[in-house]
Amino acid sequence: MPKPTAGQLAIPTAVITGILLLALGSTVSVFLGAKFLIYAAGYIVLQILYIFVFKNAPILDILCVAAGFVIRAAAGGAVIAVPISSWLLVCTSLLALFLVTEKRRQELARIETENENLTSRPSLSNYTVSFLDQLASIEVMAACVAYMLYVFSPETSAKYGFGLGATIPFVFYGMFRYLWLVNRKNIGESPTKIFLTDIPSILNLVFWAIVVFIVVYFS
């Protein structure tokens, strides 16, 4: 059965489904602890603001979508009772900004190439491909610098020495590989698809995880 696209699902059906899912999610959140419930409430408020206020606001729409990823990461830490590192939030924020920007960039590039109308995605009319490329470049540099600062920060060095420095090349390669795939292979609308189908990216992630495992448990 073909997947419904924008406008194919009846509005009453969509509203009822959304309300039921919201009620179910809120109920489950109550049983996952007070902290998780706070994050869940914040996420719901963020989504409402995005839909009704920031969806077509330049820059703010990207920031809102990226903030959702950060809240989810923090909520995950709350569920398993693991303290949230400020470095985790910084790196997650920058990575999310990068992925959202590249997704917007590829959507706009495809629409321009195929001469499609922007009426279905009015938010893209606020951008140009070159501007989004500039944003992505800034985000890549900031993410790489933030990761290096994390690796060599006093708290990290106190636990693992400088062993995690061996993971830096994998982070650089992963970010640059993603940029290359978007700009040369014209893919990027689905970050999940890239991470599940691009063999070099998969191997890079596996090697990064192996090095982290060795440093954390055998340093």
Question: HEC string of 3-47?
Answer: CCCCCCCCHHHHHHHHHHHHHHHHHHHHCCCHHHHHHHHHHHHHH
DSSP states of 120-158: G-GGGGG--HHHHHHHHHHHHHHHHHHHHHHHTSHHHHH
Asked if 32 and 101 touch (Cβ cutoff 8 Å), the reply is no
Which among 208, 146, 217 has a CA at the least distance from the CA of 174? 208
Mean pLDDT, the chain, integer: 86
Q: What is the mean pLDDT of residues 84-95?
A: 88
Over residues 161-169, mean pLDDT: 92
Query: Considering the chain, what percentage of its residues have pLDDT values greater than 90?
Result: 45
pLDDT of residue 82: 75
Give residue 157's pLDDT.
Answer: 87
What average pLDDT score do residues 134-163 get?
A: 92
d(C-alpha 45, C-alpha 185), whole Å: 36
In this structure, are residues 70 and 96 in contact, taking their beta carbons and an 8 Å threshold?
A: yes
Tens of pLDDT, residues 26-78: 777 777 778 888 888 899 899 889 989 999 899 999 999 999 999 988 888 88
What pLDDT score does 120 carry? 62
Confidence band (pLDDT; 50, 70, 90) for 122? Answer: confident
Residue 176 scores a pLDDT above 90: yes
**Residue 97 pLDDT:** 95
Task: Answer for the pair 50, 36: CB distance below 8 angstroms, yes or no.
Answer: no
Q: Inform me whether the pLDDT recorded for 1 exceeds 50.
A: no
Whole-angstrom Cα distance, residue 125 to residue 107? Answer: 11
